[in-house]
Structure 1
Amino acid sequence: MAGAFGAQSTADEVLEGVDLRGKRILVTGVSAGLGAETARALAAHGAHVVGAARDLRKAQAATEAARTEAAPGGGLDLVELDLASLASVRACADRLVAAGEAFDVVIANAGVMATPFGKTADGFETQFGTNHLGHFVLVNRIADLLKPGSRLVNLSSAGHRFSDVDLEDPNFDRTPYAEFVAYGRSKTANILFAVEFDRRHKARGVRATAVHPGVIATELGRHMTPEVRAQIIPPTPDAAEPPIPWKTIPQGAATSVWSGLVAAADEVGGRYCEDCHVAEVVDLGAVRGGVRPYALDPDTARALWAKSEAMVGETF
């Protein structure tokens, strides 16, 4: 079953015949795009979804389908979460911990891309602070709510190929800022966080993975002009090779639900997935698919964890 899907599969196709009644799933970034579609598909198959978003009014409208299409036992609640503010992240985590209800899956979906240079409320470079550090604090603060057999799914991107992490200058204090270098650093960090979280928690039956949803037209690209958007994927060395196809939003949500609920835990744990399969490790030069070796390096993953703890002032 887990191997029957590919790039064109949708979230509903991946979940066909899967009964999610009794499953409780946290999805961040449900106010638009992939997050809203992921929440809808999960609720439509019986899951109770907790959707996190910065703008609750926008999220309420975006997740209407999740409520109207929910199968018996399924539904959706919203919680406020601004990943660019650790005060908001901690307040959200505190509310979830106080409620004391366990999660079967956490899908860390929210993020920003190619933003102009800026800082989060806590002084971190916007993309690294939002995409990585916000989720790092949230997930670690609610880690005890992840019961044995549960999974963490971090949404990364093929954009991780733009850059490895820079643990010496994560905020571009000395490095000239470039939008896609910053994005690449944050997406590599998403993978490395999954690698180290998986190592730390797999003994108690909790696994973590990272996924590339595909190239999709969503609000994620709101900071980019059409000219910049066309340059997301670098040109292939083989001019005869066709351009990478764009996915629909339902197709983009497929790998998240596949890796979180359908694939075998040992297959995806500590790995990077794309198009509903575990990606090959590829070195420089490959364009069409795969994951860079630096994004799965266990030593870098441990170093990033320690650096992240130092940056947020909290030890996990």
Structure 2
Amino acid sequence: MTGPFGATSTTDEVLEGVDLSGKRILVTGASAGLGVETARTLAAHGAQVVGAARDLKKAETATAEVRAQAANGGGLELVELDLANLASVRACADALLADGRPFDLVIANAGVMATPFGKTADGFETQFGTNHLGHFVFVNRIAGLMKPGSRLVNLSSAGHRFSDVDLEDPNFEHTPYAEFVAYGRSKTANILFAVEFDRRHKAQGVRATAVHPGGIQTELGRYMTPEVMEGLLANIAKANEAAGAPAFEWKTIPQGAATSVWAGVVAPVDEVGGLYCEDCHVAERVEGGDIRGGVRAYALDPEHAKALWAKSEEMVGERF
């Protein structure tokens, strides 16, 4: 299958005929769901995959199939990375830098969703701290290992449409906490980080993009009660009906991971660099209440992206 690809395309369809032998690819969140499937398909097409996970024992078990399907010189090694703890983030990055082997692709896949209010080890609101700041420090620290021609893929979500980032109160110190507002802020941040990373590195031949994998039933939804899930799906159904759009359907995990590998390996880089993709295509900019598809303009605003970068540096105490 050569394309065009869409919402139902799978990872193996997207990579059909693609030989990744000799490529070295890093995937965060390689202990469940999309991370495991992403690692599996990349290794099966010959890539040497470095899977980062908080719980290495869990990751070892979860990635058995990745090793079993590795082909054409592909393989998997695991590294410990807790994105909710900057000491762990820096230690992992330092170890990769000491190793010195470059990367052709970094997929920032790990994340949490709709968690109760909490804080990371460094005192940041859990979702913003884990989904954005952890990856912000990690990716920037290993950016020197990304050789010309390499790409960064940040996993965002249609949930970015729940909320823009709040640079005045990122930790909800003055704002009432709401799980999906916090999730929306973190997912918007994932897009803005890709926008500014792309601007800073494209002259060196390193590009970045953000993707929405689609609605998939994975461990990501473990904090959502059945009532919350039912309410969310009801709102989506109502919006789809009002827009004359097809009914919502869950994606399979191979379908959900397809946009990550499409944006990272298959798509022409000049078409996706600095942008947001969904269903294996570049998303349109949209406004309005429908949360089915598209990207909000605030998530691609270059000045907004610069401001988030500066705020993130201030929060983590490190300049890049």
* TM bin (shorter chain): over 0.9
Identify the range of structure 1 (221-230 vs 43-52) with the bigger mean alpha-carbon deviation: 221-230
In structure 2, the partner of 1:52 is: 52
The residue type equivalent to 1:26 in the other structure is L
Identify the range of structure 1 (136-145 vs 3-12) with the bigger mean alpha-carbon deviation: 3-12
Mapped contact 1:284–1:292 kept (Cα < 8 A): no
1:197-254 per-position Cα deviation (integer Å, ceiling 9, x unaligned):
0000000000000000000000000001112123335331635644311100000000
Mapped contact 1:51–1:78 kept (Cα < 8 A): yes
- Counterpart of 2:304 in 1: which secondary structure? helix
Mapped partners of 2:315, 2:303: distance in 1: 18
- Counterpart of 2:241 in 1: which secondary structure? coil
In structure 2, the partner of 1:114 is: 114
Mapped contact 1:2–1:264 kept (Cα < 8 A): no
Mapped partners of 1:118, 1:242: distance in 2: 37
- Counterpart of 1:78 in 2: which secondary structure? strand
1:249-300 per-position Cα deviation (integer Å, ceiling 9, x unaligned):
0000000000000000000000000000000000123432100000000011
Percent of paired sites with the same residue: 79
- Aligned-residue RMSD, C-alpha: 1.2
Mapped partners of 1:19, 1:237: distance in 2: 39
In structure 2, the partner of 1:199 is: 199
Mapped contact 1:156–1:191 kept (Cα < 8 A): yes
Identify the range of structure 1 (34-43 vs 235-244) with the bigger mean alpha-carbon deviation: 235-244
Choose the corresponding residue for 2:247, options 225, 235, 243. 243
Count of matched residue pairs: 316
Choose the corresponding residue for 2:296, options 256, 271, 292. 292
In structure 2, the partner of 1:39 is: 39
In structure 2, the partner of 1:62 is: 62
Residue 278 (1) aligns with residue 282 (2): yes
In structure 2, the partner of 1:101 is: 101
- Counterpart of 2:203 in 1: which secondary structure? helix
Mapped contact 2:160–2:187 kept (Cα < 8 A): yes
Mapped contact 2:158–2:292 kept (Cα < 8 A): no
Mapped partners of 2:184, 2:9: distance in 1: 26
Mapped contact 1:85–1:122 kept (Cα < 8 A): yes
Choose the corresponding residue for 2:273, options 261, 269, 273. 269
Q: Structure 2 matches for 1:136-151, cutoff 5 A?
A: 136-151=136-151
Mapped partners of 2:78, 2:117: distance in 1: 30
Residue 306 (1) aligns with residue 319 (2): no
**1:33 Cα deviation after fit:** 0.2
Mapped partners of 2:22, 2:134: distance in 1: 28
Compare the two structures and name the one with the higher helix fraction: 2
Structure-1-length-normalised TM-score: 0.98
In structure 2, the partner of 1:224 is: 224
In structure 1, the partner of 2:7 is: 7
1:169-195 per-position Cα deviation (integer Å, ceiling 9, x unaligned):
000000000000000000000000000
Mapped contact 2:241–2:247 kept (Cα < 8 A): no
Mapped contact 2:240–2:248 kept (Cα < 8 A): no
Structure-2-length-normalised TM-score: 0.97
Mapped partners of 1:34, 1:231: distance in 2: 24
- Counterpart of 1:236 in 2: which secondary structure? helix
Mapped partners of 1:232, 1:149: distance in 2: 39
The residue type equivalent to 1:197 in the other structure is F
